[in-house]
C-alpha cells in the first residue's frame, strides 16, 4: 500500500469513527422538546398507498381508498379526497392524476371543527430523495476520497445537531441568538476537526469563523431593530407559528438565528480557504516574512470575496424570484419593492451575511499568519533574518 494512502487512512479513521459515534449518540438522545411546547393541532400526516378509486365526491374532487403503511395507524384504511393541486383547474395542474398503487401522504384532520376528514396532500417522495442523496454521496466519495467521507460525516453531524438539539431548544425557550451563535460555533469546531483534522490551519479557521459569526449576529440584531420590522418579518411561516407557540418563543430572535446559520456555511468555506492559503504560501517559501505572506493571501482573499458575495446574493435573488415577478406584474416601482418588508428583510440578511464574509477574510488571514508564519527576526549576531 502506498505510504501516503496509509497515512491518510490512519488520520481519517479516528475522525470518521468519532464523528459517526457523535451522530449516533446525539440522535439517540431523548426528545428535548418540552411536552407543553407542542400544541395539539388536530391533524396528522401518514405514509399511505392508494388501493382503489372511489370516484368523485359531491364537490367533484377525486376520492381514493388508501391504506396507511407505517406508524401507529399502520394497516388502517380510509377514504381520502385529492386536494394537492393534481386535480386543479385546467392550466394549473401540477402533476399527473394518482393511480392505484401510488404511495402518497395522507393528512387526516381530527379537530372538532373539521371532524374526521382525510385528504391526499402530496406524493411520497422519500425514495427519490434517497436516490438523489445517494448520488450526491457517491460523487463526494469518488472525487473527495477519504476527505469526502469525512465531509459527509460532518454534514450528518450538522443536520443531527440542528434537528435534535437546536429546534427542541428553541421550542423550550432558549435565547435564539445565543443558541445560534453557540451551536454554530460548536458545529464549526466539530466539522472542521472532522474534515481538516487538528492543525494550525483548523485553529485559524475556527477562530476566524467565531469572530465573523459574532459580528454577523450583532449586525443582524442592530439593523433588524433599526428597520422596525413587524413580528412576521415578511415570513409566511412565522404567521403559522404565532398562533401555535405564541409568546413562548422569541420569533424575531428565530429569524436572526436563521441569518447566523445561513452565513455559517459560507464562512466555513472562506475561513478554511484563507487559512490554507497562508499555510501553502509559507510552505512554498519559508523565508518570506509574515507581512508579505499576509499581502499575498489577501490578494487571494479579495478574489474569493468577489465570487462568494455574488454567489450569496444570487442565492437570495433566486429564492425570491417569483416574488419579484409578482411585484413586476403589479407595476410596483423598484424602490417601493425594495422598501417593502418582504424584500427588505432578505436584503438585510444578504448584506449582513456578506459583511461577515468580508470581515472573515482579513481576520482569518491575520490569525493564520500569527499562528503559522514565524515572526520576522531582526538581524542579530548570526546575521540571519527569518
Question: What DSSP string runs through 92-123?
Answer: ---SPPP-TT-EEEEEEE-STTT-SEEEEEEE
What is the pLDDT, as a whole number, of residue 49?
A: 93
What contacts 292, CB < 8 A, 6 or more positions away?
A: none
Cα pseudo-dihedral 80, 82, 84, 89, rounded to 10: -160
Q: What is the pLDDT of residue 218?
A: 87
pLDDT of the residue at 138 = 94
- Quote the pLDDT of residue 314: 73
Cell of 187: 458545529
User: What separation in angstroms does the CA of 371 have from each of 186, 205, 278, 374, 384?
Assistant: 21, 11, 10, 8, 21
Short-list 88, 123, 84, CA closest to 102: 123
Total Cβ atoms within 10 A of residue 29:
11
User: What CATH number does the domain located at 173-372 have?
Assistant: 1.20.1640
Q: What is the CA radius of gyration of the chain?
A: 26
161's grid cell: 445537531
DSSP secondary structure letter of residue 39: -
Residue 275: name the closest of 215, 209, 182 by CA.
209
Fold match flag (43-124 vs 173-372): no
Structural domain boundaries in the chain: 43-124, 173-372
Q: What is the pLDDT along the chain (386 residues), one digit of tens a residue?
A: 556 656 667 667 777 888 889 889 988 888 877 776 655 556 788 899 999 988 888 888 888 999 999 878 888 888 888 876 544 444 445 566 888 999 999 888 776 555 578 888 889 999 999 999 999 999 999 988 888 888 888 889 888 988 888 888 888 778 888 888 888 888 888 888 887 778 888 899 989 988 988 888 888 888 888 877 766 665 656 666 665 665 666 667 777 787 788 778 778 888 888 999 999 999 888 888 888 999 999 988 888 787 777 776 777 666 667 766 766 676 667 777 777 777 777 778 778 888 888 899 999 999 999 998 887 655 444 433 33
Mapping DSSP to helix (H, G, I), strand (E, B) and coil, where does residue 79 land?
A: strand
pLDDT of residue 382: 41
Query: H or E segment at 62?
Result: strand 62-68
Q: For the segment 340-376, what is each residue's pLDDT rounded down to a tens digit?
A: 777 777 778 778 888 888 899 999 999 999 998 887 6
**Which pairs from 169-172 meet CB under 8 Å and 24+ separation?**
169/32, 170/249, 170/254, 170/257, 171/33, 171/34, 171/37, 171/38, 171/245, 171/248, 171/249, 172/32, 172/33, 172/34, 172/37
Q: Please check whether the domain covering 43-124 is classified as CATH 2.60.120.10.
A: no
Question: How far, in Å, CA of 382 to CA of 386, rounded?
Answer: 11
* Residue 379: predicted pLDDT: 43
Amino acid at each position: 500500500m502506498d505510504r501516503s494512502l496509509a497515512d491518510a487512512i490512519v488520520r481519517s479513521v479516528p475522525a470518521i469513527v468519532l464523528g459517526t459515534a457523535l451522530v449516533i449518540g446525539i440522535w439517540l438522545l431523548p426528545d428535548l422538546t418540552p411536552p407543553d411546547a407542542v400544541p395539539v393541532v388536530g391533524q396528522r400526516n401518514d405514509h399511505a398507498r392508494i388501493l382503489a378509486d372511489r370516484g368523485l365526491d359531491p364537490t367533484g374532487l377525486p376520492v381514493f381508498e388508501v391504506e396507511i403503511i407505517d406508524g401507529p395507524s399502520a394497516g388502517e384504511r380510509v377514504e381520502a379526497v385529492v386536494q394537492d393541486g393534481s386535480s386543479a383547474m385546467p392550466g394549473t395542474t401540477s402533476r399527473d392524476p394518482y393511480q392505484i398503487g401510488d404511495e402518497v401522504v395522507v393528512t387526516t384532520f381530527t379537530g372538532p371543527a373539521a371532524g374526521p376528514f382525510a385528504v391526499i396532500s402530496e406524493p411520497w417522495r422519500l425514495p427519490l430523495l434517497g436516490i438523489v442523496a445517494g448520488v450526491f454521496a457517491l460523487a463526494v466519495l469518488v472525487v473527495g476520497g477519504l476527505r469526502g467521507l469525512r465531509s459527509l460525516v460532518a454534514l450528518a453531524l450538522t443536520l443531527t445537531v440542528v434537528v435534535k438539539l437546536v429546534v427542541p431548544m428553541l421550542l423550550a425557550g432558549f435565547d435564539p441568538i445565543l443558541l445560534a451563535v453557540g451551536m454554530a460555533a460548536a458545529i464549526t469546531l466539530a466539522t472542521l476537526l472532522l474534515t481538516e483534522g487538528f492543525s494550525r490551519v483548523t485553529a485559524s479557521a475556527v477562530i476566524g469563523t467565531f469572530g465573523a459569526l459574532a459580528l454577523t449576529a450583532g449586525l443582524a440584531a442592530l439593523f433588524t431593530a433599526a428597520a422596525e420590522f413587524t413580528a412576521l418579518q415578511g415570513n409566511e411561516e412565522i404567521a403559522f407559528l404565532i398562533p401555535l407557540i405564541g409568546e413562548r418563543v422569541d420569533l424575531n430572535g428565530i429569524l436572526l438565528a436563521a441569518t447566523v446559520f445561513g452565513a455559517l456555511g459560507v464562512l466555513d468555506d472562506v475561513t478554511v480557504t484563507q487559512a490554507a492559503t497562508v499555510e501553502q504560501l509559507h510552505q512554498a517559501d519559508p523565508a518570506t516574512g509574515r507581512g508579505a505572506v499576509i499581502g499575498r493571501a489577501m490578494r487571494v482573499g479579495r478574489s474569493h470575496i468577489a465570487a462568494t458575495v455574488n454567489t450569496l446574493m444570487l442565492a437570495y435573488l433566486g429564492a425570491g424570484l417569483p416574488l419579484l415577478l409578482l411585484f413586476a406584474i403589479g407595476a410596483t416601482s423598484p424602490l417601493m419593492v425594495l422598501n417593502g418588508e418582504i424584500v427588505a428583510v432578505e436584503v438585510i440578511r444578504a448584506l449582513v451575511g456578506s459583511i461577515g464574509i468580508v470581515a472573515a477574510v482579513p481576520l482569518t488571514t491575520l490569525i493564520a499568519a500569527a499562528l503559522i508564519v514565524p515572526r520576522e527576526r531582526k538581524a542579530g549576531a548570526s546575521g540571519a533574518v527569518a
